[in-house]
């Protein structure tokens, strides 16, 4: 089993090495009487810099567009999705890079466990990805399963996914997911055309959509693109 080497892991190791070097230099060049104070101050500064760099890295990744995603490696694509789902209120676990039993991410929200297979591909995704995520759903005892790709799916993959109730996120749905900023996002203050309440982001069985804040009294819904078109037409 091969464990992941994420961007955060690499950043953390870099700062640990920097900390060791820093303490070693202080021992050599700083007087013993002020070593303790200097080491504490320098440690605080280093920790502060670490969190600033980490925050900047996450913020930059959250600004990725489809052309950025197309250039990612497979593992970086999985890390991007992990960050995205965290922003949307999910608890996220990345599986090992090997022996993952068909799932790249395990996400949880509202007592629902979902296994996610991520495919950063140039060609269409076939039935193998669907088969893998179906197997992972049983292995991880998940309630739902999703395959996400920056590409599209073959017809056979769509048929198999429908039969096994696997949710497919192709390039179009991924674009909608990328454009979602956070779990409580209200789309440019767009109002419901039926009752005048706000449209709020929700996560349904077939992906993200905008629903009326007045639900269940008002059941109006639209997809992300539909909300955008409605807003622009106003």
Q: Domain holding 166: CATH number?
A: 3.40.1350.10
Category of 142 on φ-ψ map: left (φ > 0), alpha (ψ -120 to 50) or beta: beta
Phi, psi of 204 (to 5 degrees): -105, 180
Residue 129 to residue 136: CA distance in whole angstroms: 11
Residue 2: inside a domain, yes or no? Answer: no
Q: What is the pTM of this model?
A: 0.64
Last residue of a domain, one of 42, 61, 80: 61
Q: Return the higher-pLDDT residue of 221 and 91.
A: 91
- pLDDT score of 4: 62
For residue 203, the enclosing domain spans 184-233
Residue 191: inside a domain, yes or no? Answer: yes
Residue 225 to residue 186: CA distance in whole angstroms: 14
pLDDT at 135 over 50: yes
- pLDDT score of 232: 43
Same domain, 73 and 168: yes
Same domain, 188 and 172: no
Report yes or no: 43 and 19 within 8 Å, Cβ to Cβ: yes
- pLDDT score of 99: 67
pLDDT at 220 over 80: yes
- Average pLDDT of the chain is 81
Same domain, 80 and 166: yes
Same domain, 79 and 148: yes
Phi, psi of 214 (to 5 degrees): -85, 10
Measured CA to CA in angstroms, residue 103 lies from 131, 143, 172, 186, 210 at distances of: 11, 13, 22, 31, 28
The candidate with the shortest Cα–Cα distance to 101, out of 129, 133, 126, is 133
Same domain, 124 and 226: no
Residue 140: inside a domain, yes or no? Answer: yes
Same domain, 157 and 100: yes
Same domain, 88 and 24: no
Instruction: Quote the number of domains for the chain.
Output: 3
Q: Return the higher-pLDDT residue of 205 and 139.
A: 139
Same domain, 214 and 127: no
Same domain, 33 and 96: no
Report yes or no: 83 and 182 within 8 Å, Cβ to Cβ: no
Residue 1: inside a domain, yes or no? Answer: no
Residue 55: inside a domain, yes or no? Answer: yes
- pLDDT score of 234: 42
Measured CA to CA in angstroms, residue 230 lies from 4, 213, 225, 227 at distances of: 42, 16, 9, 5
Same domain, 34 and 82: no
pLDDT at 62 over 70: yes
Residue 98: inside a domain, yes or no? Answer: yes
Residue 150: inside a domain, yes or no? Answer: yes
Last residue of a domain, one of 140, 157, 178: 178
Q: What is the pLDDT of residues 74-107, one digit of tens each?
A: 899 999 999 999 888 899 999 987 667 889 999 9
- What's the angle, vertex CA 78, arms to CA 72 and CA 135, rounded to 5? 135
Same domain, 72 and 136: yes
Length of the chain: 234
Last residue of a domain, one of 178, 205, 222: 178
Helix (H) or strand (E) holding 168: strand 167-169
Same domain, 192 and 92: no
């Amino acid at each position: 089993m091969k464990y992941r080497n994420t961007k955060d892991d690499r950043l953390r190791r870099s700062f640990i090495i920097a900390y060791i070097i820093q303490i070693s230099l202080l021992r050599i060049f700083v007087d013993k009487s002020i070593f303790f104070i200097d080491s504490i101050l320098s440690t605080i500064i280093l920790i502060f810099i670490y969190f600033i760099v980490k925050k900047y890295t996450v913020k930059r990744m959250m600004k990725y567009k489809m052309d950025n995603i197309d250039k990612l490696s497979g593992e970086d694509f999985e890390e991007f999705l992990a960050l995205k789902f965290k922003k949307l209120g999910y608890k996220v676990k990345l599986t090992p890079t090997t022996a993952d039993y068909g799932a790249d991410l395990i996400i949880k929200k509202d007592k629902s466990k979902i296994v996610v297979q991520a495919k950063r591909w140039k060609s269409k995704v076939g039935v193998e990805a669907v088969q893998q995520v179906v197997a992972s759903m049983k292995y991880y005892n998940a309630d739902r399963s999703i395959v996400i790709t920056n590409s599209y799916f073959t017809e056979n993959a769509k048929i198999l996914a429908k039969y096994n109730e696997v949710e497919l996120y192709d390039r179009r749905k991924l674009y909608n997911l990328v454009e979602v900023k956070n779990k409580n996002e209200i789309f440019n203050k767009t109002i419901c055309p039926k009752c005048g309440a706000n449209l709020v982001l929700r996560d349904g069985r077939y992906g993200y959509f905008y629903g009326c804040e007045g639900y269940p009294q008002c059941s109006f819904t639209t997809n992300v693109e539909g909300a955008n078109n409605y807003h622009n037409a106003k």
